[in-house]
Amino acid sequence: MDRTLHLRPTNSEGDVKLELTAQTSASSEPAKVTFEFAAKNVDTKQYSFDGQSKLAYYSPTGKDVAIIFAATNIPQREQRVIKAQVSTNATRTSSGNKTK
């Protein structure tokens, strides 16, 4: 897979979604890995952006995990303020109920 990213100088936005699945047999539930990335308010002249990405693994047994990263770069005069947040989610299925 070969991809090229082109950025416009101001107010650019875009997203990427990738998914990979694997099965041990045709009748089994697949394991799945997904990656999602979205960005908005991208300004290459001011070096500002607002973006979020999520990497997740979905297990056939219901033991899922996701890592979410969000970041914002806001120029303020001569300084740059970058706000970042990381969170994780894990779910486990027991008797058909998901818990977090």
Tens digit of each residue's pLDDT (9 = 90 or more) over 38-82: 888 887 777 788 899 999 999 988 899 999 999 988 777 777 788
Number of domains the chain contains? 1
Contact criterion met (CB below 8 Å) for 35 and 22? no
Classify residue 69: in a domain, yes or no: no
Position 27 in a domain: yes
User: Does residue 34 belong to any structural domain of this protein?
Assistant: yes
Q: Which helix (H) or strand (E) holds 34?
A: strand 31-43
Domain that holds residue 42: 1-63
Confidence of residue 13 (pLDDT cuts 50, 70, 90): confident
> Hunting for tokens 């999602």 — which residue is that?
36
Q: Could you tell me if residue 9 is left (phi over 0), alpha (psi between -120 and 50 degrees) or otherwise beta? A: alpha
Q: What is the pLDDT of residue 96?
A: 47
Contacts of 22 (CB under 8 A, 6+ apart): 30, 31, 32
Distance CA(61)–CA(94), nearest Å, equals: 9
pTM exceeds 0.75 for this model: no
What is the residue whose two structure tokens read 């899922």? 64
